[in-house]
């Protein structure tokens, strides 16, 4: 059985993330979505809120679970007996960034394989920082994030989505 891990901050969860989760769930026996804390960013939602958003969105995917982790992803993967690390790519800049992380993870454990999935073209422009900015000024996010996330962003950032 191949266990894959898809780590990210998911702050907020986007439809682009969901697209990657669904696609990865078809490729591997088990997929664990790992909510982590990006130490270089201030979060909008708590890890437990992010887990709840993901769980609400993956109810139809029986081979996908969600967990929180704050340490090294490779160490967490050892606990799960996972051998595949899923990463999403939107741009060439993402590729360069992910290539460095993949190299470090391979250094830490040569048995870990990184699989990069290209973002669907309709989500390639979506980033967490852009979503937060649009939400702050009341822009329409309904096609970019799940409905509960759009509502929570509007409440948290003080604007109403359309």
Active site residue 90: yes
What range does the domain containing 64 cover?
3-121
* DSSP label of 119: P
Respond yes or no: is residue 42 known to be catalytic.
Answer: no
Identify whether 49 is part of a domain.
Answer: yes
In a domain, 76, yes or no: yes
Give a yes or no: residue 156 inside a domain.
Answer: no
**Residue 27's domain is classified under what CATH number?**
3.40.50.620
- The answer to whether position 130 is within a domain reads no
pTM of the complete model: 0.92
| Tens of pLDDT, residues 98-150 | 999 999 999 999 999 999 999 999 999 999 889 999 999 989 999 999 999 99
Residue 48 known to bind ligand:
no
Set 23, 78, 90, 99: catalytic member? 90
C-alpha–C-alpha distance, residues 148 and 82, integer Å: 30
């Amino acid at each position: 059985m191949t266990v894959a891990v898809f780590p990210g901050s998911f702050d907020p969860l986007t439809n682009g993330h969901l697209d990657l989760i669904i696609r990865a769930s078809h490729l591997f026996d088990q997929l664990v979505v790992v909510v982590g804390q990006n130490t270089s960013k201030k979060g909008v939602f708590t890890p437990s809120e992010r887990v709840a958003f993901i769980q609400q969105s993956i109810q139809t995917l029986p081979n996908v679970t969600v967990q929180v982790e704050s340490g090294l992803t490779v160490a967490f993967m050892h606990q799960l007996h996972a051998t595949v690390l899923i990463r999403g790519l939107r741009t060439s800049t993402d590729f360069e960034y992910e290539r460095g992380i993949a190299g470090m993870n391979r250094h830490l454990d040569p048995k870990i394989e990184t699989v990069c999935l290209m973002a669907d073209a309709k989500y390639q422009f979506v980033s967490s920082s852009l979503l937060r900015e649009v939400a702050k000024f009341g822009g329409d996010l309904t096609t970019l994030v799940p409905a509960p996330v759009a509502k929570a962003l509007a409440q948290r950032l003080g604007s109403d989505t359309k």
